[in-house]
Amino acid sequence: MKKLYILFSGILLFLTGCTESEPENLQSQVAEESKEISKLKEELGLLKDQLNDTQKNMEILEQMIMSHDGLGYGELRRQQQMLDDLIVHLPDIEIRTGFIREAENDFISIDFAEKVESPDAPNGFEIINDKEEAESFPIAEELTLFVLNGTDMEVRTIGEFNPSRQFFFEFYISNGHVIQVRELYIP
């Protein structure tokens, strides 16, 4: 009987020991999972904040695009193309491309070059300049000079222009005078 009592006590102690350690393991596992859930909630909060900031920035950019006299960028490009098409059909206007080599208040020196589409070129076109010699032209009284500033066009006077920069332009020439200059490309 004594042996049975010792065996029964041993089994009882074994079972008691197993059942008591399970809650400790379960509690530590729950604590670890709670910490992980807290970290994930914190990360989710940060991602929500980033998403809200990105959405606000997109709304601001959209307003900037649409604010140009109520026209979107695509509409402005279409209007520019329409005006370009009209200018081409006006009598006595020659449109040429090239580089400004020198510019003063009453004349401009142009090194004419040609923009040729080329699938092998990195930008899809090449600038061909066979002669590299400049021709001088008088400037019309109300010359308009359009220069690129990022993706926007800005209007400048010839006095504000720095001809030492190597930009590629489109020149509108009428009756031997340059009447408009538009920057096409910044190499």
Task: Please report the pLDDT score of residue 142 as a whole number.
Answer: 77
Q: What is the mean pLDDT of residues 54-80?
A: 69
Q: What is the DSSP letter of 153?
A: E
Q: What is the DSSP letter of 121?
A: S
- Per-residue pLDDT band for 8 (boundaries 50, 70, 90) equals low
Q: What is the mean pLDDT of residues 63-74?
A: 60
Nearest-Å Rg of the Cα atoms of the chain is: 37
Beta strand pairing call for 177-185 and 135-149: parallel
- Phi then psi for 113, rounded to 5 degrees? -145, 165
Calculate what percentage of the chain has a pLDDT beyond 90.
8
Cα–Cα distance, 48 to 51 (Å, whole number): 5
What's the N-to-C CA distance of the chain in angstroms? 103
- Per-residue pLDDT band for 88 (boundaries 50, 70, 90) equals low
Task: Please report the pLDDT score of residue 135 as a whole number.
Answer: 92
Assigned token pair, 47: 């991602």
Mean pLDDT of the chain: 78
Domain ranges of the chain: 1-67, 73-185
Beta strand pairing call for 135-149 and 152-156: antiparallel
Kindly report which listed range (7-11, 31-35, 114-118) carries the lowest average pLDDT score: 7-11
Of 183, 105, 114, 110, which is closest to residue 143 (Cα–Cα)? 105
Task: Please report the pLDDT score of residue 150 as a whole number.
Answer: 74
- Per-residue pLDDT band for 98 (boundaries 50, 70, 90) equals very high
Cβ atoms of 97 and 115 closer than 8 Å: yes
Quick: pLDDT tens for 102-123.
888 789 999 999 888 888 888 7
Given a cut of 60, whether residue 175 has pLDDT beyond it is: yes
Given a cut of 80, whether residue 16 has pLDDT beyond it is: no
With a CB cutoff of 8 Å and minimum separation 6, the contacts of 65 are 72, 73
Given a cut of 90, whether residue 162 has pLDDT beyond it is: no
The 3-state DSSP class for residue 134 equals: coil
Q: What is the pTM of this model?
A: 0.54
Quick: pLDDT tens for 140-159.
887 878 887 777 777 887 77
The 3-state DSSP class for residue 137 equals: strand
Task: Please report the pLDDT score of residue 137 as a whole number.
Answer: 94
